[in-house]
Chains A and B, each alone.
Chain A
């Protein structure tokens, strides 16, 4: 027989199932009462119960086992050896685990720093951007300051005296001027 796949048990008789459960005190109140009632009137049933009970009582004569004194000592020794091995295993694993923890911690810290830097880069205004935007004006700032007002600048531009200023920039200057006039 293969112990991992026990063969199907031969079913016990209904009488044995009932009587054994009765003797073991495992019947509910109704079933218990029914068995007692039948025991009172059925002699064969009563004899079967007595045989089951006697056979069960005979198991008491099986020899009791008392282990030798060395059993506990040997077992404790085995456990102590096992505990020592456990400790050694933990110790051998410890540096690797610590190293892994350190790497994970450092990696996390670096990632957090990178995310913070990127957020600051995107969200805070950049002075260089403003300077780049104003570059066409800054390049001619001295000339503009000498002229004094926008009207004069327009006249000079229309006269073709600013040939190096692209038309688009000149139009922007015009538009800005118009917006300023309207808002006033």
Chain B
């Protein structure tokens, strides 16, 4: 979709990161580095909780920054910079999840036969099932419970939650990143939050740890 001059001007005036990106378009290495430093932790955090692997999230974040650099000459401000960046991240993550699910199908036998679980969600399930020392489980029990709750969401619900919660994105921005309608985002988030609430209901009502994975 073509971006009008007035839209580009509006975002350029409002968003300092858009101005930095325009400097990147003009081949400023310093502006690129500044943008990367501003977004690297946020990006890796969202990707880590989306994918369930910190190492993979780091690789994907680098891929995202590389795509930003490659796209610099075509960049026209049509949204906030963060929206544009996370749209790229969403595409990269979806591709990764697709190939990961293919690999998982292939490696199913190996994983089932006792190979170390690379996915933290799987590790948490192990922890919850009592395979890890009790003191480690106790130390991060709350975090694990929340991660487990996040783990029951599907990929789209999880992405919507992460963007809404940790990037403070409104429904319209989440919709733009995920290339769906704001109404669909409203429905995704309601379903996701309902699911999370159901998973941790024992904790909310009686202070008990939920029994996921046990």
Contact = CB atoms under 8 A, between A and B. Distances in A.
Interface of A: 1-4, 6-7, 9-13, 16-17, 20-21, 24, 26, 51-52, 54-56, 58-59, 61-67, 71-72, 74-76, 78-79, 82-83
Contacts of B157: 9
Category for how many chain B residues contact A: 35 or more
B54 interface: yes
A125 to B, nearest CB: 56
Given A72-B37, A76-B33, A55 B65 contact: no
A12 B190 contact: yes
Q: Which 7 A-B pairs have the closest CB atoms?
A: A12-B190, A65-B45, A12-B191, A55-B197, A17-B190, A16-B194, A20-B190
A51 B201 contact: yes
B114 to A, nearest CB: 25
Nearest to A66: B41
B176 interface: no
Interface string B66-101: 100110000000000000000000000010011001
A3 B194 contact: no
B200 interface: yes
Given A6-B156, A72-B40, A59 B150 contact: yes
A48 B98 CA distance: 35
Main secondary structure of the interface of B (DSSP, over half): helix
A65 B143 contact: no
B170 A26 contact: yes
B33 to A, nearest CB: 6
A65 B41 contact: yes
Interface string B51-65: 000100110011001
Given A66-B41, A79-B32, A10 B165 contact: no
B131 interface: no
Nearest to A7: B154
Given A21-B186, A58-B200, A10 B191 contact: yes
B146 interface: yes
A24 B150 contact: no
Contact of B45 (A64, A79, A83): A64
B123 interface: no
Contacts of A26: 170-171, 186
Contacts of A7: 154
Given A3-B94, A16-B194, A71-B58, A62 B187 contact: no
Nearest to B143: A61
Nearest to B147: A62
A17 B184 CA distance: 11
B59 to A, nearest CB: 10
Given A16-B191, A24-B164, A58 B45 contact: no
Contacts of A56: 165, 193, 196
Contacts of A6: 154-156
A65 B161 contact: no
B193 A20 contact: yes
30 contacts: A3-B155, A7-B154, A9-B157, A9-B187, A9-B188, A11-B187, A16-B194, A17-B186, A20-B186, A20-B189, A24-B170, A55-B149, A55-B193, A58-B145, A58-B200, A59-B146, A61-B142, A64-B41, A65-B41, A65-B44, A66-B41, A67-B61, A71-B58, A72-B37, A75-B62, A76-B32, A76-B33, A76-B36, A79-B32, A82-B69
